[in-house]
């Protein structure tokens, strides 16, 4: 599956989400040779002008990009907006890679943008309905789509299956890729009490085309963990990323930071630490592939 979505130009290694707070530093070259790619959200630049778009165009001309959407609302029951897909298709024609990604959620209602990623019912009927919409989105974009698992704080009704089983069914029915956010699974495991390693292992790892890594915070008032991308990724998230990479091989891994954004130099240090975990995971994968062959000799 990943071979169908990837081509030789697809970056691997650890990248960074491009944010307005440090775009000027990136444009100056302060991140040159220190990130594998930048992930960008097309909605931040489509049909806009001004300084930020000029900065983006300059950065895009000198760096490898991966695109990740915010507003497709794949889980909605409303028809897709043709103008949105027209604009997105044009952006991807200029800056996109071999696939585009968005979240497996709903985020619009009756034309209003809800500014949140809301969960879907975990049942077969929803899986079939959403898979049909993913297929339609791929046809509209004229390229494959990868869908991202989300964090959530209140299930949408009584779940009929696990989030891993739901994602597996959706990806198989839609024949799409998986953008696997290991921090989201970790946050959900803390809030709902399941074994995170077992859940990660049950995800359709053969469909993973990219990983997301981020930090989260604890909301003491309600004793909940929030996926706010406002802290350094903790060691457990590094370990989950490495667990997946050992099974998938080289894929792009994104470090996300959306709140309490530190100076670019600090983010680049975190990218380097994550890259070290990534490299060790690939080395373990290589040893696991080689050692059985060595043991069988003689």
Give the tokens for residue 138. 């791929």
Instruction: Enter the pTM of the model.
Output: 0.91
* Distance separating the N- and C-terminal Cα atoms of the chain: 36
What is the per-residue pLDDT for 119?
79
Contacts of 185 (CB under 8 A, 6+ apart): 149, 163, 196, 199, 200, 203, 240
Q: Tell me the CATH number for domain 2-296.
A: 3.20.20.150
Q: Are 44 and 95 in contact (CB under 8 A)?
A: no
What is the per-residue pLDDT for 26?
97
What is the per-residue pLDDT for 191?
87
Domain boundaries, the chain: 2-296
Mean pLDDT of residues grouped by 10 in the chain (298 residues)? Answer: 64 96 96 97 92 95 95 90 95 95 78 65 96 97 95 74 96 97 91 90 96 83 70 90 96 93 96 97 90 43
What is the per-residue pLDDT for 293?
45
What is the per-residue pLDDT for 258?
87
């Amino acid at each position: 599956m990943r071979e169908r979505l990837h081509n030789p130009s697809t970056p691997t290694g650890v990248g960074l989400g491009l944010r307005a707070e440090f775009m000027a530093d990136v444009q100056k070259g302060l991140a040159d040779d220190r990130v594998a790619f930048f992930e960008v959200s097309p909605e931040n630049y489509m049909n806009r002008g001004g300084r930020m778009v000029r900065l983006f165009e300059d950065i895009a001309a000198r760096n490898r990009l991966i695109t990740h959407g915010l507003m497709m609302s794949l889980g909605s029951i409303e028809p897709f907006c043709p103008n949105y897909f027209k604009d997105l298709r044009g952006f991807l024609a200029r800056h996109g890679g071999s696939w585009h990604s968005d979240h497996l959620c709903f985020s619009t209602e009756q034309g209003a943008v809800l500014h949140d990623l809301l969960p879907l019912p975990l049942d077969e009927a929803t899986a079939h309905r959403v898979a049909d919409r993913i297929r339609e989105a791929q046809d509209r974009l004229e390229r494959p789509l990868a869908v991202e698992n989300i964090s959530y704080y209140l299930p949408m009704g009584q779940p009929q299956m696990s989030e891993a089983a739901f994602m597996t069914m959706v990806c198989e029915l839609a024949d799409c890729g998986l953008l696997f956010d290991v921090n989201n699974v970790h946050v959900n495991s803390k809030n709902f009490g399941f074994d995170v390693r077992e859940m990660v292992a049950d995800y359709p790892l053969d469909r993973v085309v990219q990983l997301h890594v981020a930090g989260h915070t604890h909301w003491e008032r309600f004793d909940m963990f929030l996926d706010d991308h406002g802290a350094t990724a903790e060691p457990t998230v590094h370990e989950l990323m490495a667990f997946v990479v050992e099974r998938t091989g080289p894929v792009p891994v994104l470090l996300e930071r959306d709140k309490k954004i530190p100076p670019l130099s600090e983010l680049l240090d975190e990218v380097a630490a994550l890259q070290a975990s990534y490299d060790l995971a690939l080395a373990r994968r290589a040893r696991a592939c080689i050692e059985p062959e060595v043991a069988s000799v003689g």
